[in-house]
Chains A and B, each alone.
Chain A
């Protein structure tokens, strides 16, 4: 069987099997896991340049449809399917209402997106992915809210899809073909002549990608949807599905290469605008994240904030910018996956998503705690974990262009990410352990294996980034740019400097060993329970002090609200709500017409006929 087709067919077959057997949860989860694994095996059979085409007769037109493999698509396929295996393996022991067959449909759609060579299949795959994920969100923890979240997501997706559809038709009207490659090269050729036309078409596509990735100002659906989606699905949603947008951007971004578009600071201005969208997304996500009390929502904000970093980097479209963006896409998949998997493990144990109700759970779930810690360290960009290299490169890529304002904004977002990560870390795992959670246990064996694997991956790809940077370099050269020099798996070569991650790792490890030795040889310590705490001399029992009362985690950064108040008044969400309301109003007004009165229908029919005739006359 053709491996390209197998990547589509295997998930569909698996999906059918899972749908039939979905009453038996364990069987269904096993099928999901196995299908992901088998799909991954088929991945070894494909290589760059593979092509598969077929012809479709549609309204007398002979359309050429096809699948093709570019370095970018192979990178994306490996990344997403491998993560899917980890997630579905974890999900075997997970109990939320995640439907395996929908996940497998999403997988088929996702493979199709990454492989499609023409806009028609791209659009179909995009829609399949959209709808299967929307259906999935319905099964959330809270019935009504998850329906709301799914609807919000559906509305935004539909908006994006319409925009993309219009773009596709405009484009095919111009070129008479649906092939992505020839369309992009056509746009490239006319860019210097009709820049506005090209940008208009491309921005129609970009709206769809921005919606999917949650880029400002289309980020509003992200927290609702992530917050309410079934626990087992959230990691996939945030780690994998946000990358479709990145893939889409990368299809159209080469447009600005070698053209005569006006530039800002040496950067084509459409890219400059996109970069600002990315930077603003990063800041908005980070700032809103540290005001959340819902742990899933917090990491939803964090997720699109990181997408902002990625967009800002790839918008530069320089070798280092592209490398940094793709590298961050990979790292984001990894650390965000680790964080979300630990978070859903935690939620399944404590039964709430409100952080102010948690605390001190590290005593009960040490491995989950460690995985989460390394995950947030990576998310904060701390060496030697995965996540450092890409952030480090993003800053270098930005500053090498002299984009000081955007860079400082991104750095601020990076610092603010520290805030929300610490807030989540503290409120969930540290502090006082409530007696409610006395019976909380560590995750099951399957969960432990997953967590150890993620922990290892975060460290492995942190100290040996070359394993990711090599494929990225081939992507960069496929885009016609000169890739960054490589010098071994342990090196990251930036613009201003290069670093050897292994040597940093060794230095940190030696410092830690020294620290532990010092810790062991100096005076002994005594273990005390958490009740034995400084209370300014008051005896806790006298005042009925409970652990919950002695945990400070609600409104953790309250003073910041005062500082950021003017910025928080701007509500993008409100714009969409207002838009929705006005649509509802117009819909209501239209509905008023259909009162059931025959006379009115007659008037309408006559009026319609008149308009029809006039229009026809004008057109002819």
Chain B
């Protein structure tokens, strides 16, 4: 029985993974299309990312040794694993473990794996890119953490499933209404998390030859693309669950995710790239202030749990 249950979960897990990947790639494709329209171009078909991924997996590539291979696999496997704990619409594969901080740390494992892979290639451009990515991370993760903690205090639970459940019953119950400042902070942090302009210093094609991806080709780049797409799904999904009340079904869920991504794309389209230390300190100013202010408001409203 246990085995049957496990196999069912496994199949569902694959389903979720495939769905998230498909959605992430679709978002990427639509994002490219929107970007093109903003720039008054026709743009690639919105299926372009699928074609690109297919091509990458059919193309030859170079490897710099087993650490390179392992790193790239470790770059997307934990992302996929983290997905299993995310409430997607009404469905969560493993609801009893959907602890938010755990998901955040699993995502970090993906970044660690990716970093190991690209740094094993031995190219200084990838090292510079990685150093920038990590420095940026010290920026956006801090307001992100402040917001996570205020949600913890507000909802008095760490389960994403319960946070979603508490927001049931209409727009006025959503956390975005109850914690608008927190939402604002996390939306700005999302811009950095997704590495879109003005925070795309890590992957600066004309400056450091696309940074971490400099030695990636073929399937390795494909793995990078999967990581980015699944990460896109996961990060927007977390924000939807935290602030936009989850969703009654999958379609509404991705619609809400898309709204978030759409904002990110619009900002991406109009802003130039900042310098790395400027963007890090930016995150420590306005978004962190908003996040902390939100937490303080929650605490004053009686969010403190006396133990």
**Is there a direct interface between A and B, measured as CB atoms under 8 Å apart in the complex?**
yes
Contact residues of A with B, CB < 8 Å? Answer: 265-266, 318-320, 360, 362-363, 366, 369, 373, 376-377, 380-383, 388, 391-392, 395-396, 399-402, 404-405, 407-408, 411-412, 415-416, 418-419, 422-423, 425-426, 430-433, 494-500, 503-504, 507-508, 510-512, 514-516, 519, 522-528, 530, 532-534, 536, 547, 550-553, 556-557, 559-560, 562-563
A550 to B109, CA, bound (A): 27
Show 18 A/B contacts (Cβ-Cβ < 8 Å), sorted by A: A266-B304, A377-B112, A399-B149, A408-B149, A426-B119, A426-B127, A431-B127, A494-B99, A496-B158, A497-B98, A503-B97, A504-B81, A512-B73, A523-B58, A527-B64, A530-B64, A551-B122, A553-B127
A478 to B13, CA, bound (A): 43
Q: Which chain B positions have C-beta within 8 A of A516? A: 73
Asked if A497 meets B158 with Cβ closer than 8 Å, knowing A412-B138, A516-B73, the reply is yes
Q: Which chain B positions have C-beta within 8 A of A510? A: 10, 13, 81
With beta carbons under 8 angstroms apart, the residue of A265, A392, A498, A519 that contacts B105 is A392
Do the beta carbons of A320 and B105 come within 8 Å of each other? no
**Which parts of B106-155 form the interface with A (CB within 8 Å)?**
106, 108-109, 112, 115-116, 119-125, 127-128, 130-132, 134-135, 137-138, 141-142, 145-146, 149-150, 152-153
**Which parts of B31-86 form the interface with A (CB within 8 Å)?**
57-67, 69, 72-74, 76-78, 80-81, 84-85
Q: Which chain A positions have C-beta within 8 A of B187? A: none
Do the beta carbons of A405 and B122 come within 8 Å of each other? no
A390 to chain B, nearest CB (A): 12
B166 to chain A, nearest CB (A): 13
Q: Which chain A positions have C-beta within 8 A of B198? A: none
A511 to B75, CA, bound (A): 11
Do the beta carbons of A522 and B307 come within 8 Å of each other? no
Chain B: interface size category: 35 or more
For chain B, what secondary structure do more than half of its interface residues adopt (helix, strand, loop), or is it mixed?
helix
**A286 (CB) vs chain B CBs: closest residue:** B138
Q: Which chain A positions have C-beta within 8 A of B305? A: 400-402, 495
Q: Which chain A positions have C-beta within 8 A of B116? A: 373, 425, 430
Asked if A418 meets B219 with Cβ closer than 8 Å, knowing A382-B108, A526-B60, the reply is no
**A558 (CB) vs chain B CBs: closest residue:** B131
Do the beta carbons of B127 and A552 come within 8 Å of each other? yes
A418 to B113, CA, bound (A): 12
Do the beta carbons of B306 and A411 come within 8 Å of each other? no
Asked if A508 meets B81 with Cβ closer than 8 Å, knowing A381-B105, A404-B146, A415-B141, the reply is yes
A301 to chain B, nearest CB (A): 16
Q: Which chain B positions have C-beta within 8 A of A381? A: 105
Q: Which chain B positions have C-beta within 8 A of A536? A: 209
B5 to chain A, nearest CB (A): 12
Residue of B77, B105, B122 with most partner-chain A CB within 10 A: B122
B241 to chain A, nearest CB (A): 14
Do the beta carbons of A383 and B73 come within 8 Å of each other? no
Do the beta carbons of A399 and B131 come within 8 Å of each other? no
B177 at the interface (CB under 8 A from A): no
Do the beta carbons of A362 and B120 come within 8 Å of each other? yes
Do the beta carbons of A528 and B63 come within 8 Å of each other? yes
A271 to chain B, nearest CB (A): 13
- Given contacts A495-B307, A559-B132, list 12 more A-B pairs with CB under 8 A: A382-B112, A383-B105, A383-B106, A400-B305, A402-B299, A412-B142, A496-B158, A496-B159, A498-B99, A504-B81, A550-B124, A552-B131
Do the beta carbons of A431 and B119 come within 8 Å of each other? yes
Q: Which chain B positions have C-beta within 8 A of A525? A: 60-63, 69, 218-220
With beta carbons under 8 angstroms apart, the residue of A319, A380, A550 that contacts B108 is A380
With beta carbons under 8 angstroms apart, the residue of A376, A511, A534 that contacts B77 is A511
Do the beta carbons of B158 and A507 come within 8 Å of each other? no
Do the beta carbons of B77 and A404 come within 8 Å of each other? no
Asked if A404 meets B292 with Cβ closer than 8 Å, knowing A383-B102, A525-B218, the reply is yes
Do the beta carbons of A515 and B109 come within 8 Å of each other? no
Do the beta carbons of B120 and A430 come within 8 Å of each other? yes
**B119 (CB) vs chain A CBs: closest residue:** A430
**B305 (CB) vs chain A CBs: closest residue:** A400
Do the beta carbons of A418 and B123 come within 8 Å of each other? no
B257 at the interface (CB under 8 A from A): no
B207 to chain A, nearest CB (A): 12
Residue of B101, B108, B146 with most partner-chain A CB within 10 A: B101
Asked if A551 meets B102 with Cβ closer than 8 Å, knowing A373-B116, A512-B74, A559-B277, the reply is no
Q: Which chain A positions have C-beta within 8 A of B142? A: 408, 411-412, 415
B203 to chain A, nearest CB (A): 15
A415 to B276, CA, bound (A): 17
B94 at the interface (CB under 8 A from A): yes
A498 to B291, CA, bound (A): 25
A22 to chain B, nearest CB (A): 40
A175 to B30, CA, bound (A): 76
Do the beta carbons of A523 and B109 come within 8 Å of each other? no
Asked if A527 meets B63 with Cβ closer than 8 Å, knowing A422-B130, A514-B80, A552-B127, the reply is yes
B146 to chain A, nearest CB (A): 5
Residue of A369, A536, A559 with most partner-chain B CB within 10 A: A559
Q: Which chain A positions have C-beta within 8 A of B254? A: none
A500 to B98, CA, bound (A): 10
A562 to B276, CA, bound (A): 11
A403 to B125, CA, bound (A): 40
B189 at the interface (CB under 8 A from A): no
In order of increasing CB-CB distance, the 4 nearest A-B pairs are: A496-B158, A497-B158, A402-B304, A552-B124
Q: Which chain B positions have C-beta within 8 A of A522? A: 57-58, 219, 222
**A524 (CB) vs chain B CBs: closest residue:** B60
B280 at the interface (CB under 8 A from A): yes
Asked if A511 meets B81 with Cβ closer than 8 Å, knowing A395-B101, A411-B142, A551-B122, the reply is yes
Q: Which chain A positions have C-beta within 8 A of B180? A: none
Do the beta carbons of B101 and A392 come within 8 Å of each other? yes
Q: Which chain A positions have C-beta within 8 A of B125? A: 534
A356 to B44, CA, bound (A): 44
A593 to B280, CA, bound (A): 57
B157 at the interface (CB under 8 A from A): yes
Q: Which chain B positions have C-beta within 8 A of A407? A: 145, 149
**B284 (CB) vs chain A CBs: closest residue:** A563
B20 to chain A, nearest CB (A): 12
A354 to chain B, nearest CB (A): 17
A559 to B152, CA, bound (A): 33
B295 at the interface (CB under 8 A from A): yes
Asked if A419 meets B81 with Cβ closer than 8 Å, knowing A381-B105, A526-B62, the reply is no
B173 at the interface (CB under 8 A from A): no
Residue of B74, B138, B141 with most partner-chain A CB within 10 A: B138
B200 at the interface (CB under 8 A from A): no
Asked if A511 meets B149 with Cβ closer than 8 Å, knowing A383-B102, A499-B97, A522-B58, the reply is no
B120 to chain A, nearest CB (A): 5
**B72 (CB) vs chain A CBs: closest residue:** A519
Do the beta carbons of A388 and B67 come within 8 Å of each other? no
Asked if A382 meets B105 with Cβ closer than 8 Å, knowing A514-B77, A519-B219, the reply is yes
Do the beta carbons of B61 and A411 come within 8 Å of each other? no
Do the beta carbons of A508 and B77 come within 8 Å of each other? yes
A266 to B307, CA, bound (A): 9
Q: Which chain B positions have C-beta within 8 A of A419? A: 134-135, 137-138
B135 to chain A, nearest CB (A): 6
A149 to B121, CA, bound (A): 38
A554 to B303, CA, bound (A): 46
With beta carbons under 8 angstroms apart, the residue of A265, A366, A415, A557 that contacts B131 is A557
Do the beta carbons of A404 and B60 come within 8 Å of each other? no
**B281 (CB) vs chain A CBs: closest residue:** A563
Do the beta carbons of A401 and B304 come within 8 Å of each other? yes
Q: Which chain B positions have C-beta within 8 A of A383? A: 102, 105-106, 109
With beta carbons under 8 angstroms apart, the residue of B76, B122, B214 that contacts A360 is B122
Q: Which chain A positions have C-beta within 8 A of B127? A: 426, 431, 551-553, 556
Asked if A422 meets B115 with Cβ closer than 8 Å, knowing A383-B102, A497-B157, A503-B94, the reply is yes
Do the beta carbons of A422 and B112 come within 8 Å of each other? yes
Do the beta carbons of A511 and B63 come within 8 Å of each other? no
